[in-house]
Chains A and B, each alone.
Chain A
Amino acid sequence: MKVVKFSKLAMLAGLTAMFALALAACGGDEPAADAPVVEAPVEKPTLIFSDLNWDSAQIQNAIVRAIAERGYGYETDAVPGGTIPLMQALIAGDTNINMELWLPNQQEAWDEAYKSGDLKKIGKSLEDNWQSGYLIPQYTADANPGLKSVSDLPDYVDLFKVTATGDKGRNIGCIPGWECEVINEKKLIAYGLDDTYELVNPGSMAALDAEIVDAFTKKEPILFYYWGPTSLANRLNTELGGYVLLEEPAHSAECETAEPAWGCAYPLSEVLIIMRTETAAAAPDIAAMLGKYDFNAVNQIAASNYMAESSGTYAEVADWFLQNTEDWKSWVTAEAEAKIAASY
């Protein structure tokens, strides 16, 4: 037995030695092959984007990556994931740009990271164009002309009743764990709807979207919380007959803290572009570009429509965007604009 073992060991050692030799030989060749390469490249950080798992973030990432690569000569990468893990990745330095930090949904995490000085607000993303509230389909609104505002809802309980909610109407709420989940609960009480409506947890965005599309396809009445312009809201408008936003009292800072709290509409969301501080310092041209960056609702809807029509990838949408729209030219330097145009 021992003899056999020794021979196995000897063979292993021999193989390892040969492998090491081969490696060393390769290693020895490399510098020689690389030697005639041009002068040392300028030290540019690789831009690593948080590839958040929803459409608008991925479209924006693709566009900014294309601009950074083609116009400014950066290498870029993207790490896919959900909101929470990617925020942790950004704080840990595994990624260095996040194109969509939603406030107040991530207020706590952002406040903490901002205090530490590791992260920096670079610009605004989608701001002022985005809103959220309670929606009903256009066909439901047409069939029920009296249903215009949240205060009309108690008269229409029967319309939204389902088996799971018994005598109450079904009000599909927000994703569990998001700030809007808590706010929706407060609103239900503030509007006096807690006796007549039940907030139903959709579980995840995929399930929420599936439920909405299914109801719209079958022309069934549905009352749900949503936000837009998202690709789904856009699809409801273009393909499925449209939606109506129920009226709510205007938002004010006081109503958030009044008793009962939140008897008013959602404020316009704040969506920030944030970067790690050291990356912003190492890539000042990108930080400056993102400061001017303004991917507004018109751009968003155009890109989203193109994507739906072409069934293309996000990278293809970005290429289309840079070749067929004008807005981005005001974000970049003249030099970068020329380089991007030349690259196609």
Chain B
Amino acid sequence: MAISSPSNKKEKRWKGFDIKNHKALILGSVGFLAFSAIVLAVLGPAVEFPIKIGRTISEGIDDSIGWATTSGAWFLDPTSDGVLRFLLLIKDFFEWLPWPIFIVATVIGSYKTAGRGIAIFAVVSLTMMGSLGLWVSAMETMALIVVAVILSISIAVPIGILAARSNLLDTILRPILDGMQTMPSFVYLVPAVMFFGIGDVPAIFATIIYAVPPAIRLTNLGIRQVSSEIVEAAMSFGTTPRQLLLKVQIPMAVPTIMAGINQTIMMALAMVVIASLVGAGGLGEDVNRALNRFQPGEALLSGLGIVFLAIIIDRVTQAAANERQKALMGER
């Protein structure tokens, strides 16, 4: 039908299909069909895979997790304790902070960076969260996010810088970061409990695993993106590698790094409900409880609380990054 169509173009394209150019394809297809036919004839349609090692490996992993939790206690327990004490400090601060101060500070901050629209949005959404009874949970979530993000940044920026300076590290890192972003969080949630005990600490670690990759990737990218002309110019003025990094490359990369941090914050907020499955408090716990009780309304309100926090933080950090970008352009 297509051949008989009045379109000249079509006919030309059809004629362009020359069998000579596709010998490999045709031979391959025929070979594949023949192979399939032989397999079907000899082994039948439901061929069992000859080697089965899944269970052996998974049991080995179970054993090594058990071994690591006991023999790694000298490292895990103080780490867990340190993170927890840091979190308790931040939590106490957010719990102590009276809500009018938080709202006014947020409004001023968002007005300065992101403008009037977001300031108005912040007033409305924060007052709404207060009146919906989500305030205490929201502050607990804020504390969790703040700790997870601070830890993420302090991991991501150094690793990102190293990756920018070493192509080998970059190559090794890439599949690991892919894995961290796509591995279902439930998979590492339970081992996290075995390592750090129930509560906020495994939640923070699970959040970091999920949220740290964009900050690493974009730090790496940001530094690699600094144009070679600028680097050359700096070198010609006799900068040391250290000065080059600290005074040229990192400052130039800040907008990109900020974009990465923005992504990290958003992903950390997305983990809030999953984190509640290992005993983390806050809005995530409210969602978890409401769903276990079949109260979709409650769950939706708590979920909206997470959305409001996300929008405010997102707009403010993005605006800050843009401002920095503009300042850089001005400098140039």
Q: Which residues of A does B touch, CB under 8 Å? A: 3-4, 6-7, 10-11, 13-14, 82-84, 87-88, 109, 162-164, 172, 175-178, 181, 200-204, 206-208, 210-211, 213-214, 217-218, 311
Question: Given the complex, which residues of B lie within 8 Å of A87, measured CB to CB?
Answer: 294
| B193 adjacent to A84 (CB under 8 Å) | no
Name the residue among A14, A172, A214 with the largest chain B CB count within 10 angstroms: A214
| A11 adjacent to B1 (CB under 8 Å) | yes
Partner of A177, one of B7, B81, B290: B290
Question: Given the complex, which residues of B lie within 8 Å of A14, measured CB to CB?
Answer: 1-2
| A203 adjacent to B2 (CB under 8 Å) | no
Q: Which residues of B does A touch, CB under 8 Å? A: 1-2, 5-10, 55, 66, 69-70, 73, 80-81, 84-85, 88, 186, 189-191, 193-194, 197-200, 202, 276-281, 285, 288-294
Least CB distance, B71 to chain A, in whole angstroms? 11
| B5 adjacent to A11 (CB under 8 Å) | yes
| B10 adjacent to A4 (CB under 8 Å) | yes
| A203 adjacent to B285 (CB under 8 Å) | yes
User: Considering the chains assembled together, what is the distance between the CA atoms of A87 and B5 in angstroms?
Assistant: 58
Among residues of A, the one whose C-beta sits closest to the C-beta of B59 is A311
Among residues of A, the one whose C-beta sits closest to the C-beta of B69 is A214
User: Considering the chains assembled together, what is the distance between the CA atoms of A203 and B278 in angstroms?
Assistant: 5
| B197 adjacent to A7 (CB under 8 Å) | no
Indicate whether A175 sits within 8 Å of B292 (C-beta atoms), given known contacts A206-B189, A214-B193: yes
| A176 adjacent to B285 (CB under 8 Å) | yes
| B190 adjacent to A210 (CB under 8 Å) | yes
Name the residue among A3, A204, A213 with the largest chain B CB count within 10 angstroms: A204
| A178 adjacent to B292 (CB under 8 Å) | yes
User: Considering the chains assembled together, what is the distance between the CA atoms of A14 and B70 in angstroms?
Assistant: 68
| A207 adjacent to B198 (CB under 8 Å) | yes
| A218 adjacent to B1 (CB under 8 Å) | no
Least CB distance, A184 to chain B, in whole angstroms? 14
Name the residue among B55, B186, B198, B278 with the largest chain A CB count within 10 angstroms: B198
Indicate whether A163 sits within 8 Å of B189 (C-beta atoms), given known contacts A7-B6, A7-B7, A7-B10: no
Question: Given the complex, which residues of B lie within 8 Å of A217, measured CB to CB?
Answer: 66, 69-70
User: Considering the chains assembled together, what is the distance between the CA atoms of A210 and B196 in angstroms?
Assistant: 11
Partner of B7, one of A3, A164, A175: A3
For the A-B complex, the count of residue pairs with Cβ-Cβ distances under 8 Å equals 114
| B293 adjacent to A203 (CB under 8 Å) | no
Among residues of B, the one whose C-beta sits closest to the C-beta of A83 is B292
User: Considering the chains assembled together, what is the distance between the CA atoms of A3 and B5 in angstroms?
Assistant: 9
Extra contacts, 19 of them, besides A84-B294, A164-B88 (Cβ < 8 A), are: A3-B6, A3-B8, A4-B9, A7-B10, A82-B292, A87-B294, A164-B197, A164-B199, A177-B289, A177-B291, A200-B199, A203-B278, A203-B279, A210-B190, A210-B194, A210-B198, A211-B194, A211-B197, A214-B194
| B81 adjacent to A163 (CB under 8 Å) | yes
Partner of A176, one of B66, B191, B289: B289
Question: Given the complex, which residues of B lie within 8 Å of A6, measured CB to CB?
Answer: 5-7
Question: Given the complex, which residues of B lie within 8 Å of A177, measured CB to CB?
Answer: 288-293
Among residues of A, the one whose C-beta sits closest to the C-beta of B5 is A7
User: Considering the chains assembled together, what is the distance between the CA atoms of A11 and B1 in angstroms?
Assistant: 6
User: Considering the chains assembled together, what is the distance between the CA atoms of A208 and B279 in angstroms?
Assistant: 9
Least CB distance, A275 to chain B, in whole angstroms? 21
Question: Given the complex, which residues of B lie within 8 Å of A3, measured CB to CB?
Answer: 6-9
Least CB distance, A318 to chain B, in whole angstroms? 20
Among residues of A, the one whose C-beta sits closest to the C-beta of B290 is A177
| A200 adjacent to B279 (CB under 8 Å) | yes
User: Considering the chains assembled together, what is the distance between the CA atoms of A202 and B281 in angstroms?
Assistant: 10
Question: Given the complex, which residues of B lie within 8 Å of A164, measured CB to CB?
Answer: 84, 88, 197, 199-200
